[in-house]
Amino acid sequence: MRVAIITDTHFGARNDNQNFSEYFFKFYEEHFFPYLKENNITHCLHLGDIMDRRKFVSYRTAKNFRERFIKPFSDLGIQLHILVGNHDTYFKNTNEVNSITELIGTRYDNVHIYPEAKEIELDGLPVMLVPWINASNHAKTMSAMDKSKADILMGHLEVQGFEMIKGVHCENGYAKDLFRKFDTVFSGHFHIKSDDGHIYYLGNPYEIYWNDCGDKKGFHIFDTETRQLDRIVNPLTIYKKIYYDDTTTNYKDHDITQYKDNYVKVIVVNKKDLYQFDQFVDKLLRADCYEVKVIEDFSDLDANTVSDDIVANTQDTMTILNLYIDDIETSLDKGRLKNLQRQLYMEAQDLQI
């Protein structure tokens, strides 16, 4: 049997922005559900963080979530298994109050919600399901894992050593050895796809933040007989970066249509022909982009404290912060400083604004 696996959908992300909402559902309606239908997929596992906000959800997001994500599974006759992730829980120390149970409840016979660890069978294959581990379910989760006869574990885990966002690796969480009894571990939580040959972080299905730009997204198909995992890449994007350099590229015939319905950053590397540059930007502004930003003035950065590499490469926020810490002269532990700023950055993204 072939089983679909998706994770970290984060419905309601980006302050429930309409552009992002339609981008998310375009992926489901044009790619995800058609693939499941065409390939006769009968089971799907969601590995947590189905919603984005821990404290509340808008009426529009709740309606879209039920009608455009949950209902199609029922219409297609697909059994949907949902693990509770950390973004789904109201409290940080228990999964008891969670958005999935409150939004869906028991209204769909084909939807199964897992706030606690449980072993299930998929076409005769035992699979250990492990939702977000916290203070209230830690002991039960460890006991369930210890008693499990499954070779496969699927969960929403925070494991040390894996990349959380570009350039930032997890230093907290659980040690890899905790899961060594299982042959293979699939997990949600971190949005970048990565693995060490034993633990596989599957990544989220679409771009949400600028640091997702250029990182391939999608969902997976797992074969319970061969245990092969295949990735189905999402062709849709919402972020585009253009490194503008007219000393190497002629922009007169540049394909502008690829930027439609995208947020675009034009990062100026070299601009010798001012007329050509103005024409190019004008075309972008008329290309139905959601937003176009031109980055060429770095005068607000202090050249004495920020290296030229940071400006030249125009990296994402976390990379810039890490490079800044690398460049400063201090007797403090730079590793601890990076870890602190990483925690603050992640907490800032979780703020309920």
199 plus 83 within the same structural domain: yes
Report which of residues 352 and 222 the model is more confident about.
222
Clarify whether residues 90 and 201 are in a common domain.
Answer: yes
Task: Choose the weakest-confidence range: 66-70, 118-122, 181-185, 332-336.
Answer: 332-336
Instruction: Extract the tokens encoding 347.
Output: 């907490």
Q: What is the pLDDT of residues 2-36, one digit of tens each?
A: 999 999 999 999 999 999 999 999 999 999 999 99
The residue-averaged pLDDT of 209-227 equals 95
Domain that holds residue 51: 2-233
Residue 98 DSSP class: B
Token digits for 142? 């460890």
Inform me whether the pLDDT recorded for 303 exceeds 90: no
221/322 same-domain check: no
Buried/exposed code over 26-50 (b: 16+ C-beta within 10 A; e: otherwise)? bbbeebbbeebeeeebbbbbbbbbb
Q: Does residue 130 sit in the same domain as residue 144?
A: yes
Q: What is the CA radius of gyration of the chain?
A: 22
Give the pLDDT band of residue 301 (cuts 50, 70, 90). very low
Same domain, 149 and 289: no
| Whether residues 195 and 137 fall in one domain | yes
The answer to whether residues 212 and 93 belong to one domain is: yes
pLDDT-derived band of residue 347, with 50, 70 and 90 as boundaries? low
pLDDT tens figures, 314-338: 555 767 777 778 777 777 887 778 7
Lowest model confidence (mean pLDDT) among 22-26, 138-142, 159-163, 319-323: 319-323
Does residue 164 carry a pLDDT above 80? yes
Q: Are strands 118-122 and 218-223 parallel, antiparallel or unpaired?
A: unpaired
17/71 same-domain check: yes
For 215, counting Cβ atoms within 10 Å of its Cβ (0-12 exposed, 13-18 middle, 19+ buried), the class is middle
Pair (100, 147) in one structural domain: yes
Instruction: Say whether pLDDT at 251 is over 70.
Output: yes
Map residue 44 onto helix, strand or coil: strand
Give the pLDDT band of residue 349 (cuts 50, 70, 90): low
Task: Tell which of 213, 233, 253 closes a domain.
Answer: 233
Alpha-carbon gap, residue 171 to 175, rounded angstroms: 10
- In this predicted structure, what is the pLDDT of residue 333? 80
How far is 101 from 84, CA to CA, in rounded Å?
9
Do 149 and 276 lie in one domain? The reply is no
**At 174, which CATH number?**
3.60.21.10
The pLDDT of residue 330 is 79
Question: Of 129, 127, 130, which is closest to residue 151 (Cα–Cα)?
Answer: 127
Question: What pLDDT is recorded for position 316?
Answer: 59
| CA 95 from centre of chain | 21
Please check the confidence at residue 222 and state whether its pLDDT lies above 60.
Answer: yes
Contacts of 96 (CB under 8 A, 6+ apart): 115, 136
Burial class (CB in 10 A: 0-12, 13-18, 19+), 331: exposed
Mean pLDDT score, 297-310: 50
In this prediction, what percent of the chain has a pLDDT beyond 90? 79
Residues 325 and 289 in one domain: no
Among the candidates 296, 311, 336, a domain finishes at 296
Q: Which of 187, 203, 233 is the C-terminal boundary of a domain?
A: 233
CB-based contact 264:284 (threshold 8 Å) = yes
The number of distinct structural domains making up the chain is 3
Question: Is the confidence at residue 304, as pLDDT, over 70?
Answer: no
Q: How does pLDDT run across 259-298, given as a tens digit for each residue?
A: 999 999 999 999 999 999 999 999 999 999 999 999 986 5
246 & 227 share domain? no
